[in-house]
Amino acid sequence: NEPLYAVYGASGFGREVLPLGRESLARAGIALDRLVFIDDEPPMPQVNGHRVLTWQAFLDEPAGARFVSLAIASGAIREKLSNRLRDCGVSPWDIRAGNMVQLDDVAMGEGAILCAFVTLTSNIRIGRQFHANIYSYVAHDCVIGDFVTFAPGVMCNGNVVVEDHAYIGTGAILRQGKPGQPLRIGRGAVVGMGAVVTKDVAAGVTVVGNPARPLLK
Ligand code: UDP
């Protein structure tokens, strides 16, 4: 049986990711009816020409192997769903836009989604299930944790550490750190859109503005 490929999440971001997966399958000569969406609440039976299956229907479909890309912006949901993949013997599927740029010595964990115009420069470590939305970049010597999400146009300069489950909003700028003294975005922190981050952000904190400051609730 032929392998089956899926993009999990048939909403906005999933519809942006699926064509990138389609492009890489087409390059590999894989028939496009082997590419489906998975959604726990299918919005329609078909979206943009591809079937939308529930998780169970995806598992029931005959296939020699199964590959799934998690196209859901919430890192917490990606962690939950990546456990579901592992428990069912389904492989994570990395999806990279054909025009993304990657330079020297970039190590990346499973399941990343790298959208169009993403740039990863040199000597970078990235964990599992990273999302880099359109036009984001990661510069030299950065260390990115697991389940980290970059919205569109994030500018992550050199020597920055982004811990697990952090979410960086559209157009945010992370100031470069120093070798051995990185700028650090703590676990589960949220950087608001357009924020200019000039110093460390503590775990779990939301920062906004220029210079970025903790959001007063
Ligand atoms: N979803 C799902 N299982 C989950 C969480 C979300 O199938 O555990 C689906 C949800 O039904 C929706 C999509 O994933 O269709 C997520 O879309 P959302 O609008 O939250 O986010 P975006 O597309 O902006 O990432």
- Cβ–ligand 1 contact at 92 (below 6 Å): no
pLDDT of residue 39: 98
Q: Say if residue 40's pLDDT is above 90.
A: yes
Instruction: Kindly report the pTM of this predicted structure.
Output: 0.97
Distance CA 117, CA 101 (A): 7
Question: In this predicted structure, what is the pLDDT of residue 65?
Answer: 98
Q: How many residues does the chain have?
A: 217
16 lines ligand 1 (CB under 6 A): no
Task: For residue 204, report the distance from its CA to the centre of ligand 1, in Å.
Answer: 22
**pLDDT of residue 133 exceeding 80:** yes
The per-residue pLDDT for 98 is: 97
- Distance, in Å, from the CA atom of 200 to the CA atom of 38, rounded to the nearest integer, reads 37
Mean pLDDT of the chain: 98
Long-range CB contacts (within 8 A, 24+) of 106-110: 109/146
Rounded CA-CA distance 213/217 in Å is: 12
Residue 98 CA to ligand 1 center (angstroms) comes to 25
Q: How far is the CA of 6 from the centre of ligand 1 (A)?
A: 14
Q: Is the CB of 87 under 6 A from ligand 1?
A: no
Q: For 19, phi and psi rounded to 5 degrees? A: -65, -25
User: Residue 69: left (phi > 0), alpha (psi -120 to 50), or beta?
Assistant: beta
Average pLDDT over residues 27-44: 96
Question: Which of 16, 40, 48, 129 has the most ligand 1 atoms within 8 A of CB, as the residue to mutate?
Answer: 40
Nearest in space to 188 (alpha carbons), one of 171, 174, 168? 168
Q: Indicate the pLDDT class of residue 216, thresholds 50, 70 and 90.
A: confident
- Dihedral of alpha carbons 14, 19, 23, 25, sign: positive
Q: What is the pLDDT of residue 152?
A: 98
Q: Is the CB of 14 under 6 A from ligand 1?
A: yes
192, 204 in Cβ contact below 8 A?
A: no
Query: In which band, very low, low, confident or very high, does the pLDDT at 1 lie, cut at 50, 70 and 90?
Result: confident
Q: Is the pLDDT of residue 76 over 80?
A: yes
Question: Can you give the pLDDT at residue 33?
Answer: 96
The residue-averaged pLDDT of 159-164 equals 99
Q: How confident is the model at residue 51 (pLDDT cuts 50, 70, 90)?
A: very high
79 lines ligand 1 (CB under 6 A): no
What is the average per-residue pLDDT within 54-78? Answer: 98
Residue 140: active-site member: yes
How close is the Cα of 22 to the center of ligand 1, in Å?
20
Which domains, from first to last, does the chain contain? 4-93 (3.40.50.20), 96-209 (2.160.10.10)
Task: Classify strands 35-38 and 46-47 as parallel, antiparallel or unpaired.
Answer: unpaired
What is the atom index within ligand 1 of the atom nearest the CA of 12?
23
User: Residues 8-27: what's their mean pLDDT?
Assistant: 97
Sequence-ordered list of residues with C-beta below 8 angstroms from that of 81, at least 6 positions apart, any chain: 8, 70, 72
Residue 143 phi/psi, 5° resolution? -125, 115
Average pLDDT score over residue span 184-190: 98
What pLDDT, on the 0 to 100 scale, is given for residue 180?
A: 96
Among protein residues, the one whose CA lies closest to atom 18 of ligand 1: 11
Q: What is the pLDDT of residue 82?
A: 98
Helices within 6-110 (DSSP H only): 12-27, 55-60, 75-87
* CA nearest ligand 1 atom 8, residue: 77
Looking up tokens 């997966």 gives 21
Beta bridge partners of 161: 143, 184
Ligand 1 touching residue 169 (CB < 6 A): no
